[in-house]
Amino acid sequence: MFYLNIKQYNYHIVFLLTACFSLNVPAKPSAVPVSYDDPWERVNRSIFSFNETIDTYILKPIAKGYNVVTPKPVRGLVTNFFKNLGEIRNTLNGAIQLKFSAASVSFSRFAINSTVGILGLIDVASPLGFERKYADFGLTLAQWGAPSGAYIVIPFLGPGNVRSGVGFVSDIYISPLTYIDPERDAWMALGIKTINVRSNLLAAEDLIMGDRYTFIRDAYLQRQEYLILGHRPVDDF
């Protein structure tokens, strides 16, 4: 099955990433913000260049074609469907962070959208006042005091840090896509999700200014800090 292959592939990754930092768990969650250090910039830029090549010649053209043949309302339904699956991750991580109110909202969103919203295709919960509360295991580690570690660029995946890398691997086991059988269908679902996400980002490319590597790195780190601390970071001039 698909999830067995993922477990076999990622066992050593989890071990190596976890070994990159020591996790001192406090009695209560104490959020640790991101580090803006980029000591591996030379290697990161090489991986970034590789990812950009893959995106330019494969993913981006497919995403553009997807936008052409898929009406915008249909793309919205696809986006809603995969976001609804993400509520499972949001619920579990919210509970682990002891943010029970947020976890309750995420669970309510999943229950409402999965039923009234027809398997999550329609976001019924948001108009009812259930605002989405994003949470992943990387943010959970941050809430429990784990340092972020250095900034890294992951092949095929993009920006991250050591902490979010551990979180990403852990969140794989929460995702319903991991347990789709047969494996071919799982990869198909993942492919649709990837193309849909990339198509949603096409318009945002016009916002990128200056050096793409620096812009994307800083945007990622600032978003992480916002998600962890709950407020926008203050520029240190």
Residue 107 located in a structural domain: yes
Question: How is residue 166 written in tokens?
Answer: 């551990």
- Each residue of 18-34: pLDDT tens digit? 334 333 444 445 666 66
Distance (Å, rounded) from C-alpha 176 to C-alpha 139? 20
- pLDDT at position 37 is 83
* CA–CA distances in Å: residue 99 to residues 91, 94, 184, 210, 226: 9, 5, 36, 38, 16
Residue 207 located in a structural domain: yes
- pLDDT at position 207 is 87
Residue 235 located in a structural domain: no
**Helix, strand, coil percent values for the chain (each to nearest 5):** 65, 5, 30
Side chain identity, residue 49: S
In the chain, the number of structural domains is 1
Residue 142 located in a structural domain: yes
- pLDDT at position 152 is 95
Residue 56 located in a structural domain: yes
Helices 2-19 and 183-200 cross at an angle (nearest 10°) of: 60
- pLDDT at position 206 is 83
Residue 237 located in a structural domain: no
Question: How is residue 165 written in tokens?
Answer: 């890398």
Please report where in the chains the tokens 């970034």 appear, as a residue: 48
- pLDDT at position 31 is 67
Residue 146 located in a structural domain: yes
Residue 77 sits in which domain range?
2-229
- pLDDT at position 42 is 95
- pLDDT at position 11 is 36
Residue 234 located in a structural domain: no
The distance from CA 118 to its chain's CA centroid, rounded to whole angstroms, is 24
Distance (Å, rounded) from C-alpha 52 to C-alpha 193? 19
* CA–CA distances in Å: residue 3 to residues 16, 169, 181, 186, 234: 20, 12, 9, 9, 41
Cis status of the peptide bond prior to 182, with omega within 30 of 0: yes
Give pLDDT < 50 ranges for the chain.
Answer: 1-28, 233-237
- Each residue of 165-191: pLDDT tens digit? 999 989 999 999 999 999 999 999 999
